[in-house]
Amino acid sequence: MSDMAIATNPEQQRALERFYFREARLLDNRQYQQWLALVTEDIQYRLPARVNVQVDNRERGTEQMLSVERELEGADSMGCPIREENYIHLMLRVERAFKINSWSENPPARTRRIVGNVELMHRSGERHTVLSNFHLYYSRPGSASFLYSGQRRDVLLAANTDDFRLQQREVILDYADIDLPTLGLFF
Amino acid sequence: MNYRVSDLVNDDASLISRRCWTDADVYGLEKKGIFGRAWLFLGHESQIREPGDFVQAYMCETPVILSRGQDMQIYANINSCSHRGLPVCRADHGNTKRFICPYHNWSYAVDGALVSIPQESAVRNKPDKSQLGLKRVPRVESWRGLVFGSFDPDIIPLETYLGDMRFYLDAFIDRFPQGIEFMGSPHRWQLDANWKLPVENQLGDVNHGAFLHSAIIPREAQDLIEELGYSVVTAPGHGATFRLMPVDAPIDEIAWGMEGMGGMFGGAEVQDYLREVQTTAMERVGPIRARMKGLTYGVYPNLSFLWSNASFKVSHPRGPGKVEYWSWAVVPADAPDAIKQVLRTNYSSFFGPGGILEQEDSEVWVQQFRGSNIDFADDRPYYYGLGLGEEKPHAELPGLVSVTANEFYARHFFARWRDELLAVEGQL
């Protein structure tokens, strides 16, 4: 994958942003069933663990020394990602959200997310590889408020330019120590 | 101290004061009477296979480096430089020849010995480096790959300490032809809760499942736990809950791993592997334990094991009102890599910081601290009396045995806790 985003025309960029902004609005409005309709049934939803790694002396002075990838225990690793989910997991989470005994979200958290830095990195037929960043404000009654920050590495499928479906999402959270109440949100 | 230990827990441990959970002086006594004296879990040998391998650990709030020396021995040293006290190891895990303090570059071998002081050449009186290594944890022992350390040089051997818990731990560890291994770094997260509630939760409290987790766990699963379930206390603070499946139960209902998300949806290769393990389990663990389908385990004071969602967990105190919870995915050591990658989701789907079930547990642990840390209710200690005196010995299962609704696992924990705090009460 090239380091540069594809030089999309304004219509293409706008179509991607329309998808992401609507997705953010559905999630902040807790319209999780509508959100679930935006993902494909073969979705892979992943959240790698992020660890503090040893500096490799041989990589001193190179970009590789500081690379984010070295800190991730992802799906291909023999470590343990925090989440590796499929459609069934996401469906369970959506169903749970609408039960009155999902206590950690009852009363529900107030969230607001800003999605930006939307970059189309690669396109091959229907398959769009897209990067985006988010800040997610999270507040619950009787609790402190929290800021989640991260990058999303998505694969979107689109039959037409305006009909995206989420097929893969890898969420790179910017935590060092996890002092957040849950990493079980839809990011 | 504002409270007497004997007032915090009554004689049969059926009444537990709110102050057990919130008081800073009580926490001070816990450090001295429990964490300064017990065997504390440090890690698993599979994390440090090669000379120079290391992982971070904690003993209460004290940071420890668990490492494999060049001599292949296992070492545990406090992660604090002998010169100015900085941590000399900053990575979660890795492999190294030296731990180097960033401040003046005192450097230590992986076994903790002080190797060099850069400034030493410029002074006439040379320090005795043999006396200035990292402080070694005085006792380190392992059993079945599980490594523990103790600050008490005179503590009983680890195997004696574990006692009959070994019978139940082996029902899992020995189930697999080559035992178990830990996958990757622990998931670690902080909660505004007291360290003892996660411990109690994993020691024997399967009674909250159908209630707290009713958004996910169906009532029928809880009925099965009540029908086939046992709660066992092998020694105060050590306990296990499990289902003893009928002799003629179908293999898919007994085999470990089948009830997790990885086992259910991981495909035929994974399920065939799990069936194969179960088919040969009787040779390794015998007929009774081959029928065991575990739930929760606890090893005093703060190690937990969750059989059904294969993970080891440690509840590290960070003060009376804060805990850093660590959990590791555990997989059979002999399984192919691709199967391990599926089976780790038996843990992470429902547990860990993103787990669908654990988010409810975390919530109540935080709420319990909030509910304990209040005024004008000290005359209302918590009721721990469910099933008082109903536990009995069992012909085939070591320890005291009862139904899962009996809260004797928690009473025995607090009886031991009270004794160990009483022993140091005057010393704070």
Domain containing A155 — which CATH number? 3.10.450.50
In B, which residues are within 8 Å of A96 by CB distance?
215-216, 356
pLDDT beyond 90 at B222: no
Tens digit of each residue's pLDDT (9 = 90 or more) over A163-185: 899 999 999 999 989 999 999 99
DSSP state at residue B259? T
Q: Can you tell me the mean pLDDT for B377-396?
A: 97
Query: Has residue A132 been placed in a domain?
Result: yes
Q: Pull the structure tokens for residue B177.
A: 């032809």
List, in sequence order, the alpha helices (H) in B291-384: 337-343, 345-348, 358-372
Shortest Cα distance from A9 to chain B (angstroms)?
A: 38
Tens digit of each residue's pLDDT (9 = 90 or more) over A109-150: 999 999 999 999 999 999 999 999 999 999 988 788 999 999
Query: Has residue A75 been placed in a domain?
Result: yes
Please provide the average confidence, as pLDDT, over all residues in chain B: 96
In B, which residues are within 8 Å of A53 by CB distance?
91-92, 94
In B, which residues are within 8 Å of A177 by CB distance?
188-190
Query: Has residue A113 been placed in a domain?
Result: yes
Residue B218: its pLDDT value, please? 85
Per-residue confidence band for B219, with pLDDT thresholds at 50, 70 and 90: confident
Query: Has residue A117 been placed in a domain?
Result: yes
Tens digit of each residue's pLDDT (9 = 90 or more) over B165-208: 999 999 999 999 999 999 999 999 999 999 999 999 999 999 89
- Do the chains contact at A83 and B215, CB–CB below 8 Å? no
Please provide the average confidence, as pLDDT, over all residues in chain A: 94
Q: Can you tell me the mean pLDDT for A29-38?
A: 98
Helix axes B408-422, B196-203, angle to 10 degrees: 140
Query: Has residue A2 been placed in a domain?
Result: no
Q: Which residues contact B140 (CB under 8 A, 6 or more apart)?
A: B42, B74, B75, B76, B147, B148, B149
Distance separating alpha carbons of residues B418 and B301, to the nearest angstrom: 12
Nearest residue of chain B to residue A89 (CA atoms) = B349
Quote the strand ranges of B84-179, DSSP E: 93-95, 98-100, 107-109, 114-116, 139-143, 146-150
Residue B242: its pLDDT value, please? 97
Residue A1: its pLDDT value, please? 56
Tens digit of each residue's pLDDT (9 = 90 or more) over A77-106: 999 999 999 999 999 999 999 998 898 888
| Sign of torsion over alpha carbons A51, A57, A58, A62 | positive
List, in sequence order, the alpha helices (H) in B344-407: 345-348, 358-372
The residue among B50, B356, B374 with the most chain A CBs within 10 A of its CB, best to mutate, is: B356
B275 touches chain A (CB under 8 A): no
Per-residue confidence band for B3, with pLDDT thresholds at 50, 70 and 90: confident
Distance separating alpha carbons of residues B412 and B415, to the nearest angstrom: 5
DSSP per-residue string spanning chain A: --SSPP---HHHHHHHHHHHHHHHHHHHTT-HHHHHTTEEEEEEEEE-EE--BPP-GGGTTSGGGG-GGGGEE-TTSSS--SEEE-HHHHHHHHHHHTSTT-GGGSSPPEEEEEEEEEEEEEEETTEEEEEEEEEEEEE-TTS-EEEEEEEEEEEEEESSTT-EEEEEEEEEE--SSB-SS-S-S--
Query: Has residue A80 been placed in a domain?
Result: yes
For chain B positions 356-385, those within 8 Å of chain A (CB to CB) are: 356, 359-360, 362-364, 366, 370
Query: Has residue A180 been placed in a domain?
Result: no
Shortest Cα distance from B73 to chain A (angstroms)?
A: 22
ipTM: 0.95
Residue B215: its pLDDT value, please? 87
Query: Has residue A182 been placed in a domain?
Result: no
Q: What percent of chain B stands above pLDDT 70?
A: 100
Q: Which of B185, B214, B366 shows the shortest C-beta gap to A79?
A: B185
Q: Can you tell me the mean pLDDT for B357-376?
A: 95
Domain extent for A92: 10-173
Q: Which residues contact B306 (CB under 8 A, 6 or more apart)?
A: B202, B295, B296, B297, B313, B347, B351
CB pairs under 8 A between A and B: 112
Strand partners, B293: B243
Q: What is the pTM of this model?
A: 0.96
- Do the chains contact at B189 and A96, CB–CB below 8 Å? no
Q: Pull the structure tokens for residue B99.
A: 């731990």
Distance separating alpha carbons of residues B231 and B403, to the nearest angstrom: 6
Distance separating alpha carbons of residues B389 and B410, to the nearest angstrom: 13
Structural domains of chain B in order of their starting residue, each with its CATH number: 5-38+162-427 (3.90.380.10), 47-142 (2.102.10.10)
Residue A142: its pLDDT value, please? 79
Nearest residue of chain B to residue A101 (CA atoms) = B215
Q: What percent of chain B stands above pLDDT 90?
A: 94
Per-residue confidence band for A8, with pLDDT thresholds at 50, 70 and 90: confident
Per-residue confidence band for A53, with pLDDT thresholds at 50, 70 and 90: very high
Tens digit of each residue's pLDDT (9 = 90 or more) over B268-325: 999 999 999 999 999 999 999 999 999 999 999 999 999 999 999 999 999 999 999 9
What's the structural domain count of chain A? 1
Residue B79 has phi, psi (to 5 degrees) of: -85, 70
